[in-house]
Chain A
Amino acid sequence: MDEFIGAWTARHGATRDRLLPLLHAMQEEVGYIDDAWVPVIAKALNLSRADVHGVVTFYHDFRRVAPGRHVVKLCRAESCQARGGAGIEAAAAKLLGVAMGETRADGQVALEPVYCLGLCAIGPNALVDGRPVARIDAATLERIALEVAA
């Protein structure tokens, strides 16, 4: 990771305002921000470790442990609830064998909450490995479960 951070800051700059873009780039690269990398980031951007830790933990997007091989981000916000989102959430947890906000023990799939995807007229909605899926019903859930089993 030291190399990645060095190359990234050489290319994009090492000012404080580069912190979020760097964290996004790291997460894109390896899927999460390991606590062990916090001092390296801090040094590269000339910040305190506490500062970097504070930012990593503030934002819901940044993970501190490796995610599941597949990530299902299911919308929990009001407009999806109005279309039966709560029932779909319960069914998804059961079908995927993982509680909301958790990664399954075998590391195959994570079910994460998201608060609105901007698809609010066609819910319940999810991002399955980044791909938007709308009007989720029992049949859609079956397809998602098959997809993330691979």
Chain B
Amino acid sequence: MSRVFISRDMASVALGADDVARAFAQAGCEVVRTGARGLFSIEPLVEVETQAGRIGFGPVGPGDVAAVLDGTHAARLGEVEALPFFAGQQRFTFARCGVIDPLSLDDYAATGGWQGLDAARAQAAQQVVDTVKASGLRGRGGAGFPTGIKWQTVLDASAGDKYIVCNADEGDSGTFADRMLMEGDPYCLIEGMAIAAHAVGAGHGYIYIRSEYPFAIATMRAAIAASAHIVAPFTLEVREGAGAYVCGEETALLDSIEGKRGQVRAKPPLPALQGLFGRPTVINNVLSLAAVPFILAHGAEAYAAVGFGRSRGTMPVQLAGNVRHGGLYEVGFGITLGELVNAIGGGTASRRPVRAVQVGGPLGAYFPPSMFHLPFDYEAFAAAGGLIGHAGITVFDDSVDMAHMARFAMEFCAAESCGKCTPCRIGSTRGVEVMDRIIGARGTLKPVRPEPVEGRLFSSQEKGGASTGSARTGEGYLDRALYSRAPDRIDVSIEAQTALLRDLADTMKYGSLCALGGFTPYPVLSALDYFPEDFGAPAPLKEAAA
């Protein structure tokens, strides 16, 4: 009887892995369901255990059982780890993902599991925090804040109840690393959280998972139950999100766990001092916490040895969108954007030229191929007016309309704004209107009245308050462009609207409480600056201020 390995990851299942697994089981094979290896162009992937190791075949369908088992199938890949996509990776965090049965405690222990926790528990709390500091690990949720320093604050906070909260809200389009890890190696996250609990003196932890991830929720719940005796006295529970992107923001997430509307809190107080239920709280992304077992097991130096500048260790980069070899590529910081998109991703799936990539989700900048020399590094991206965020790269080919993408960024912000501050709540809605006017005007190059935007997209306005309705009169472009009260008196010329867009972006950038309103200008302005032709402008526009 042959033993075969087939992923049960949500992406593999979406591509038909369940049917394939059923077919192999019916043929009498022992089917081990694993997490995903991370390259989706070869899914559904079947790996057959042989004397010479695990031999991969993919993509395969349910009708391919015989050809796979006798080794004649045309999609024979050989050893999966030897494929170019995998050979160049440095899998520190994702070492087990796609290899083991995610819920098997035996598999986990046999592949080095719990070594980090054992090492941590043999040390004083301060020593563990020092190790994490020395590793150089920075938060993988987006902001890149040093994890060890965050933990130190919580360790130093007054005694009493403390919490570990894992941010598994992963709302950024183009990202799926948190999901893959939770589905493919849940004990790794649990181990990381247990180490954090030991390091700061916390007794209970929460994993806040978005509701769009039903597989991850089920796997984490099962893994928590199965490993409770190992991490005790530390206890854990899963909390399910409810479809609000802003709940990925850490303070909104805490409010959501507390049973409230997911609105962003003003800082200070820092969550590290007054977080969940007002208690000192470590809140970290899945990937930050899942990096910790490696660091404790292999030492801070082993982790810090790879990387670039102040970005130490590895980053699980996610190649998404219109890319030929999309998937998860864990590698040390410093690799260039171009290597990732072209050499590893293989360019677009549509075989057309790459026109733009968006890095870091819906709040990240759009870059043209002329920026492909950028090294993957927090500082380098910030200096170029972008961000790494959660390391998702969304590839677009030359059919993309960048004005539409800029409009979408505003639309998304309007749909997801928590409603707490005006520049974001109202500004995003005004931003959609401005983009509609630009899109309307660029085709005809004469004034067109904007189409109203319908549907759910304006729900934030219902939530938050009424429209602005300024009744000022005057000479400036702002007054001419404001149309809430006087739709017939707007200057809808592209120049006026583009100037208005820049002004609005400025207000959102500097006047918003959190990065949803504050960073939405990144995709908008980068689209405008790098692709002015899509906005009806022959040449890049100057700043609005005269």
B439 to chain A minimum Cβ distance, whole angstroms, is: 14
CA of A57 to CA of B456 in the docked complex: distance in angstroms?
12
Chain A residue nearest to B10 (CB atoms) is A132
A122 and B327 alpha carbons, distance in the complex (Å): 9
Main secondary structure of the interface of B (DSSP, over half): mixed
A120 touches B179 (CB 8 A): no
B506 at the interface (CB under 8 A from A): no
For chain A, the count of residues having a C-beta within 8 Å of the partner chain is 46
Return the contact of B173 from the options A16, A45, A61, A116 (Cβ within 8 A): A116
Shortest distance from the beta carbon of A106 to any chain B beta carbon, whole Å: 20
Which among B26-34, B123-131, B314-322, B429-437 touches the partner chain? B314-322
Chain A residues closer than 8 Å to B262, beta-carbon distance: 58-59
Chain B residues near A1 (CB, 8 Å)?
Answer: none
A44 sits at the interface (CB 8 A)? no
Query: Is A119 on the interface with B (CB-CB < 8 A)?
Result: yes
Within 8 A of B (CB), among A24-46: 24, 45
CB distance from A47 to the nearest CB of B (A): 8
Q: Check B258 against A132 for contact (C-beta < 8 Å).
A: no
Complex formed: what's the CA distance from A123 to B321 in Å? Answer: 7
**In chain B, what residue has the closest Cβ to A59?**
B242
- Chain B positions within 8 Å of A60 at CB level: 242-244, 456, 459
The reply to whether B319 and A115 form a contact with Cβ atoms under 8 Å apart is no
User: A103 within 8 Å of B by Cβ?
Assistant: no
- The minimal Cβ–Cβ distance linking A18 to chain B, given in whole angstroms, is 7
CB proximity to A under 8 Å, residues B65-93: none
A135, B15: Cα distance in complex, Å? 8
Q: Which of A121, A132, A134 has the most CB of B within 10 A?
A: A121
A133 and B14 form a contact (CB under 8 A)? yes
Contacts of B178 in A (CB 8 A): 118
- Interface residue? A147 (CB, 8 A): no
Residue of B nearest to A22 (CB): B259
Whether the pair A120, B242 counts as a contact (CB closer than 8 A) is: no
A108 part of interface (Cβ distance < 8 Å): no
Cα distance A63–B14 in the bound complex, in angstroms: 26
Are A119 and B256 closer than 8 Å at their CB atoms? no
Pair A116/B322 contact, Cβ less than 8 Å: no
B10 x A119 contact (CB < 8 A):
yes
Q: Given A17-B258, A23-B242, A114-B212: A82 and B455 within 8 A (CB)?
A: no
Given A77-B173, A79-B173, A113-B456, CB of A122 within 8 Å of CB of B394: no
Assess whether B349 is interfacial by the CB under 8 Å rule.
yes
Contact B259 A118 (CB under 8 A): no
Encode contact with A along B424-463: 1 for CB under 8 Å, 0 otherwise. Answer: 0000000000000000000000000000000110010001
User: What string of 1s and 0s marks CB contacts (under 8 Å) between A65-103 and chain B?
Assistant: 000000000000111111100000000000000011100
| B240 A118 Cβ-Cβ under 8 A | no
Q: Cβ of B213 < 8 Å from any Cβ of A? A: yes
Among A24, A57, A101, A132, find the residue whose CB has the most chain B CB atoms closer than 10 A.
A132
Query: Can you list 24 contacts pairing A with B, beta carbon distance less than 8 Å?
Result: A16-B259, A18-B259, A20-B240, A20-B259, A21-B240, A60-B244, A77-B173, A77-B174, A79-B174, A79-B321, A81-B408, A82-B400, A101-B456, A114-B212, A114-B243, A115-B171, A118-B175, A118-B176, A120-B173, A121-B326, A122-B40, A122-B326, A125-B14, A132-B11
**Known contacts A120-B321, A121-B327; 11 further A-B pairs (Cβ under 8 A):** A17-B277, A24-B240, A58-B261, A59-B244, A78-B358, A78-B405, A83-B322, A114-B212, A118-B178, A132-B11, A133-B14
Chain A: residues with CB nearer than 8 A to chain B?
Answer: 15-21, 23-24, 45, 54-55, 57-62, 77-83, 99-101, 113-123, 125, 127, 130, 132-135
